[in-house]
Structures are given as structure tokens and as C-alpha cells.
């Protein structure tokens, strides 16, 4: 058991509180095949980044305006496809425990996509949200997490990030925050604590309004 304390939590969405892997697989495998890429290799890096940033990694010589055009189409396709989108195990109870505590969603999805997936998973949308439209740089840049902390009114060192991907964990680290890694991709990328899912996390409130996390760790 590991115990962490914080003033606020910053939550990634896909792979962290929402399992959208089925949609991501469908959309990104189709895109990779259309561009003559190995879909299995492409799937290793798509998680965590905004779509245009993933495309820039996969096709480094391609004009960025084409990546942005494809990203707009990808977002529309993903927003329309919620088949198989479900909460990560433990996410409903975890989000319910955070209802009155400082927390924010910090996601590489845009506003419509984040609303579609949170609704499909039956999860409440946090009042504070940092989506793709809110930042100038994709994860692993720390901008989103720093903006989330600032909007909640807390210093980075007082925040804990929940993330599943290499890019997201790197962004949390770069923001000067502690990171709880969630899911099968997370443990390999150096989070402070790793869990299989959110059933291993218990949220408690301290007397001064802070947050205590009791985590049954997997690594």
C-alpha cells in the first residue's frame, strides 16, 4: 500500500478513466493502412498525443497542414464512434469520490470528443477541463497539466497526475508533478506509482481539505 497526499488531481481521459481502446484501434489502424504504415507499429505511439502530433511522428516529412486536416477528420470519426467505450474499472467510484474535491480533466481529445466519450462511459464531466483547443502544444509538452493546475489554483507540486501513456507520463513529469500510472502501458514509463486500474485507488479527504490517496500498488 502506498499513500500519497495532494491538493488537486489532474486526470487524463483515454486509457485512464475511459477505456476507448476499441475506437482508437479502429480509427488509427485504418489511417495507418491508408498511408502505407505498419498498423501494429503505429499503435505503439498513438496513445496520449493529439492526432496531428502522432501523425508528425509517423510521417516526419509530411507537411504539418496535412496532419491538421487529417486530425480534424479523425476527431470527427472518433466522436461519432463510441461503440465499445466503457469506464476503466473503478472509474465510476473514483470520480464519485472526487465530486467535491479539486480535480480537472486534462486530455488530448477536443471538447466534443471528450464529452462523447465521458457520456458513453457514464462518467461525470469535471467542471475544469483542459482539452485540445485549450493548448498550443500536445503532450508530452507539460502545458496542459500546468494550465489545469493554474485553473484550479494550485502549484504543480501540490498536484497528482493520473495517466496511462508514455507521452502523458512524460508531460506530468515535465510539469513537476507526481504521476500515478494507470493500465498496462503505464508501468514501463516511470510513474511514481503504477496500478492496473482504479479499483486499486481509494480517495479520502484530509481535515484541511486536502486529498489522500491510498493505492494498492502493482509496481
Alpha-carbon distance 209 to 149, whole Å? 16
> Which residue pairs from 39-43 have beta carbons closer than 8 angstroms and sit at least 24 positions apart in sequence?
none
Round the CA-based radius of gyration of the chain to a whole number and report it: 17
Q: Report the distance separating Cα 175 and Cα 94, nearest Å.
A: 23
Count other C-beta atoms under 10 Å from residue 157's C-beta: 12
Q: Is the distance from CB of 212 to CB of 4 less than 8 angstroms?
A: yes
Which residues are paired to 33 by β-bridges?
Answer: none
Q: Residue 80: CB partners within 8 Å, gap ≥ 6? A: none
Show the CA angle centred on residue 38, arms to residues 32 and 40, nearest 5°.
Answer: 95
Contact of 84 with 23, CB cutoff 8 Å: yes
Task: List the catalytic residues.
Answer: 12, 14
Amino acid at each position: 500500500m502506498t499513500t500519497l497526499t495532494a491538493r488537486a488531481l489532474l486526470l487524463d481521459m483515454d486509457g485512464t478513466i475511459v477505456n476507448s481502446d476499441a475506437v482508437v484501434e479502429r480509427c488509427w489502424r485504418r489511417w495507418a493502412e491508408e498511408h502505407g504504415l505498419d498498423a501494429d507499429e503505429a499503435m505503439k505511439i498513438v496513445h496520449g498525443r493529439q492526432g496531428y502530433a502522432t501523425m508528425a511522428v509517423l510521417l516526419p516529412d509530411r507537411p504539418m497542414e496535412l496532419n491538421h486536416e487529417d486530425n480534424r477528420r479523425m476527431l470527427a470519426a472518433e466522436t461519432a464512434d463510441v461503440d465499445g467505450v466503457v469506464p476503466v474499472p473503478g472509474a465510476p467510484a473514483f470520480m464519485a469520490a472526487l465530486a467535491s474535491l479539486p480535480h480537472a480533466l486534462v486530455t488530448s481529445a477536443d471538447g466534443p470528443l471528450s464529452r462523447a466519450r465521458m457520456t458513453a462511459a457514464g462518467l461525470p464531466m469535471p467542471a475544469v477541463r483542459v482539452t485540445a483547443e485549450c493548448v498550443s502544444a500536445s503532450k508530452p509538452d507539460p502545458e496542459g497539466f500546468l494550465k489545469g493546475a493554474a485553473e484550479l489554483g494550485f502549484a504543480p507540486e501540490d498536484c497528482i497526475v493520473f495517466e496511462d501513456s508514455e507521452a502523458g507520463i512524460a508531460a506530468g513529469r515535465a510539469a513537476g508533478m507526481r504521476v500515478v500510472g494507470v493500465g498496462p502501458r503505464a508501468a514501463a514509463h516511470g510513474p511514481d506509482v503504477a496500478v492496473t486500474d482504479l479499483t486499486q485507488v481509494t480517495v479520502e479527504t484530509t481535515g484541511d481539505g486536502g486529498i489522500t490517496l491510498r493505492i494498492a500498488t502493482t509496481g
